[in-house]
Amino acid sequence: MLKSFIEIPPESDFSIQNLPYGIFSTKENPSPRVGTRLGDFVVDLAFLDEQKLFDGHYSFFADASLNRFMSAGRETWRRIRQRLTDLLSAGGDTVWEEAMRVLALIPVDDVQMHLPVDIGDYTDFYASREHATNVGIMFRGKENALMPNWLHLPVGYHGRASSVVLSGADVIRPRGQVKPKDAPLEFTVSRQLDFELEMGFFIGTGNDLGEPISIENAHEHIFGMVLLNDWSARDIQAWEYQPLGPFLAKNFATSISPWVVTMDALEPFRVQGPQQDPAPLPYLGTGSTSGIDITLEVTLQSATMDEAQTISRSNMKHLYWSLEQMLAHHTVTGCNMRTGDLCGTGTISGPTEDSYGSMLELTWRGEKPIQLPNGETRKFLQDDDTITMKGYCQGDGYRVGFGEVTGKILPALSDDGR
């Protein structure tokens, strides 16, 4: 098994098999730049580039986003990944001296992380059959759980790139129009604030306007993935979503994890996805999909709890629609994707009640409140609740993980905006 020259515990998300990319800064050098994560250290790639440790000069490692690196294409991504593996592995390239390693490896506690990508557009899909079925049963009954189009195409909507925030950012409870049952319409604070357990994927190289990305080539355009929490105000959503889908209910915050795990790092964890029946139209493939075995976990911690409680365990392999199908469908009209565009998978729910990926499902629209260890209960999220999502792929003696994405709910602003 490949090992690093530094000791990395087998339960660490950041093995040498991972080597994700992110943007960081330090007090000593406040300029945001590109790094990779190795165990409990951040490796300064701008410094390695300055020291001529790559096979060329890559000025994009000094950038404040991954965009230029991502736009370089898959051949460059793979060449740099292989070079980093050579430099960081035990018994690997000895061209760099111990003193240089000390300067390049920065303890993770000494860095400030930033949004990894300058996100141009954000699209969120609805790719979990279990989630779509659960929501459909709640709102339309078992006989009409799935809409007629759902098994034929990856349903999606356009979200707000401007409100995508980094893990750790607080989320202010939104206000909006709410129509309670048997009560008049009101403008008020959302009382049904929810999380959605998702994964996000970033577009590395785009396509020209008018030229779709084929299902066969879609993987060439996807750079990597992050954990994603699509915060949702269910009561606002229930009133506004017809006929065009969610709008204000989801535009106030979307949280992502700071490290982008590459598709090459995830490749060993490809698994057979759900069999698609009926078979999709040819532009979406054969109906035999490829999933990724990513173990996912959600914890909730209230202001009065000493420790967080796990409230959901799921897995990305349950998704009905694959990443490649989502991208092929998105561009089939000729829509042009651009470097840095973000796509969300939609809520990832599994087949069991403890694997549901939202409070809406876990509490079945508030009918079955979650019991917390301190005696509190939850139908939806309350002020000062913290939601944390984690995800990892389990290898033989190592992990390829994403770290975490976390966010705390703050009270709504007062009527005068304060």
Q: Which residues are catalytic?
A: 131
Q: Strands, DSSP E only, in 257-332?
A: 261-262, 270-275, 288-292, 295-301, 309-315
Instruction: Report residue 218 as tokens.
Output: 């879609």
Instruction: Report residue 167 as tokens.
Output: 């893990």
222 closest CA partner among 121, 318, 326? 326
DSSP-assigned states of every residue in 140-158? H-GGGSS-TTTTTS--EEE
224 closest CA partner among 323, 127, 126, 317? 323
Exposure string over 359-372, b if 16+ CB within 10 A, otherwise e: bbbbbbbeeeebeb
Q: State how far the alpha carbon of 143 is from the alpha carbons of 94, 148, 275, 350, in Å.
A: 65, 11, 22, 20
DSSP letter for 131, please. H
Instruction: Report residue 336 as tokens.
Output: 């042009």
Q: Strands, DSSP E only, in 288-384?
A: 288-292, 295-301, 309-315, 342-344, 370-371, 377-378
Paired residues of 83 in beta bridges:
none
Pairwise CA distance, residues 268 & 288, whole Å: 18
Name every residue whose Cβ is closer than 8 Å to that of residue 159 and which is 6 or more positions away in sequence. Answer: 122, 123, 124, 230, 250, 251, 254, 344
Instruction: Report residue 266 as tokens.
Output: 């995830």
Virtual torsion, Cα 75, 76, 82, 87, nearest 10 deg: 170
Task: Tell me which H or E stretch contains 124.
Answer: strand 122-125
